[in-house]
Amino acid sequence: MRNLLTVLLCCTAFSCSVDNAVTRDEAFTIIMIPDTQNAVDFTRQKAEGFAIDSSEIFINQMQHIAARSVSNGGDVAFVASVGDVWQHVTSDTDPGHVARGIEALRNIETGFERVVRPEGTLRFEIPKAIEGYQLISDEGIPFGVAPGNHDYDAWWAVAGPAANSEGSDLNSPVGSVPINSMLHVGGLNNFRMAFGSDTDFFRDREWYVSGFEGGESSAQVFSAGGYEFLHLAFELQAGDDVIAWAQDVVDEYAGLPTIISTHDYLNSRGERLPAEMDLALVDPGENNSAEELWQEFIRKTDQVFMVLSGHQPGQAITIDENDNGHEVYQILADFQIRGQAGLDAGQALGPGGTIAGIGDGWFREMIFHVRDSDPRVDVKTYSSHYESYSSELETYAEWYKNREQPNMSDEQFLAAEEFSIKLADFHMRYGMPDEL
- The pLDDT tens digits of the residues spanning 104-141 come to 876 555 555 555 678 999 999 999 999 999 999 999 99
Alpha-carbon distance values, 261 to 159, 221, 238, 343 (Å): 29, 14, 11, 31
**Per-residue pLDDT at 161 exceeds 80:** no
Distance CA(435)–CA(433), nearest Å, equals 6
**Per-residue pLDDT at 29 exceeds 80:** yes
Q: Tell me, what's the pLDDT at 13?
A: 41
217: which strand partners? 212
Single out the residue of 82, 24, 26, 379 nearest to residue 224, CA to CA.
26
Q: Tell me, what's the pLDDT at 121?
A: 95
How far is C-alpha 183 from the geometric centre of its chain's CA atoms? 19
β-pair type (143-145, 76-81): parallel
Distance CA(173)–CA(189), nearest Å, equals 29
CATH code for the domain in which residue 193 is found: 3.60.21.10
Q: Tell me, what's the pLDDT at 172?
A: 38
Single out the residue of 35, 25, 14 nearest to residue 236, CA to CA.
35
Number of domains into which the chain is organized? 1
pLDDT tens digit sequence for 318-373: 999 999 999 999 999 999 999 999 999 999 999 989 999 999 999 999 999 999 99
φ, ψ of residue 101 to 5 degrees: the values are: 85, 15
* Host H or E run for residue 144: strand 143-145
DSSP character at residue 297? I
pLDDT tens digit sequence for 360-405: 999 999 999 999 999 999 999 999 999 999 999 999 999 999 999 9
Distance CA(433)–CA(298), nearest Å, equals 24
Tell me, yes or no, whether 436 lies in a domain: no
φ, ψ of residue 426 to 5 degrees: the values are: -60, -50
DSSP character at residue 23? T
**Per-residue pLDDT at 183 exceeds 90:** no
Tell me, yes or no, whether 102 lies in a domain: yes
Tell me, yes or no, whether 407 lies in a domain: yes
Tell me, yes or no, whether 336 lies in a domain: yes
Tell me, yes or no, whether 304 lies in a domain: yes
Q: What is the mean pLDDT of the chain?
A: 89
Which comes out higher in pLDDT, residue 284 or 242? 242
**Per-residue pLDDT at 5 exceeds 60:** no
Enclosing domain of residue 33: 4-430
Q: Tell me, what's the pLDDT at 169?
A: 38
Tell me, yes or no, whether 435 lies in a domain: no
Beta strands in 255-299 (DSSP E): 258-261
Read off the pLDDT band of 14 (50, 70, 90): very low
> Which residues, at least 6 apart from 78, have a Cβ–Cβ distance to it below 8 Å?
30, 31, 141, 142, 143, 144, 220, 222, 224, 229, 231
- Rounded to an integer, the average pLDDT of 289-303 is 97
Tell me, yes or no, whether 132 lies in a domain: yes
Q: Tell me, what's the pLDDT at 284?
A: 86
β-pair type (327-334, 304-309): parallel
Q: Tell me, what's the pLDDT at 102?
A: 87
